Amino acid sequence: MKNIVILISGSGSNMAAIVRTAEEQNWAQRYNARISTVISNKADAEGLTFAKQHGIATSVIDHKAFASAPQPREAFDAALMTEIDKHQPHLVVLAGFMRILTPGFVAHYEGRLVNIHPSLLPAFAGLNTHQRAIDAGCKFAGATVHRVTAELDHGPILAQAVVPVLPDDTADTLAARVLTQEHLIYPKAVAELL
């Protein structure tokens, strides 16, 4: 069985889209694959409830618990890797996971680690993508599924979706339009990798 581990930090709507697609398309039978666990760095991430309701094991590794370690990022990533590796994952899917990962973590999952970013990469890596697209006068925005490399929001592109930027858009209205597309391209890209 190919295990998929999904990492979230918040609402987890991309995770939910992947779980629903896996159920609808019967990934167990079609790809011999399953979402084996959902891990959050925040105990109050709403997505954890959805995962539990769908019979998926969940766990929380709170990055704040490592704040006083000599190397907090490395210590957090080591704990995260230990939890992930219990599932011997075929894929590790970052779905709104709002932590910058160490080069050691990225190297450990090389070829197995994917992310979704709410912009048309390579434009607007980093945060506040929607406001930055509006401020730049972009006529189009979108989302990108990409393999994860050591450089933040870079790596080979697997899928993209494009939406128009409308004259009266705010960051929130644009984000909502982009998110509806994320929910289509991310499950599809994961299925293609399987």
| Contact residues for ligand GRF, defined by CB under 6 A | 8, 10-14, 95-96, 116-118, 143, 179, 182
Please report how close the Cβ of residue 110 comes to ligand GRF at its closest, in angstroms.
Answer: 21
User: Contact at 8 Å (CB) between 167 and 142?
Assistant: no
Q: Is 117 a catalytic residue?
A: yes
Closest by alpha carbon to 81, among 98, 103, 54, 96? 103
- The residue number whose beta carbon is nearest to ligand GRF equals 96
Place of tokens 């090389």: 110
Please report how close the Cβ of residue 69 comes to ligand GRF at its closest, in angstroms.
Answer: 26
- Alpha-carbon distance of 29 to 123, in angstroms, equals 38
Closest by alpha carbon to 75, among 96, 43, 34, 104? 104
Pick 32 or 140: Cβ nearer ligand GRF: 140
72 Cβ contact list (under 8 Å, min separation 6): 63, 66
Pick 20 or 86: Cβ nearer ligand GRF: 20
Closest by alpha carbon to 52, among 15, 98, 24, 88? 15
Of the residues 117, 130, 146, 183, only one is catalytic, namely 117
95 Cβ contact list (under 8 Å, min separation 6): 6, 7, 8, 12, 14, 15, 18, 47, 116, 186
Pick 32 or 49: Cβ nearer ligand GRF: 49
Please report how close the Cβ of residue 32 comes to ligand GRF at its closest, in angstroms.
Answer: 25
Please report how close the Cβ of residue 141 comes to ligand GRF at its closest, in angstroms.
Answer: 11
Pick 13 or 41: Cβ nearer ligand GRF: 13
> Which are the catalytic amino acids?
117
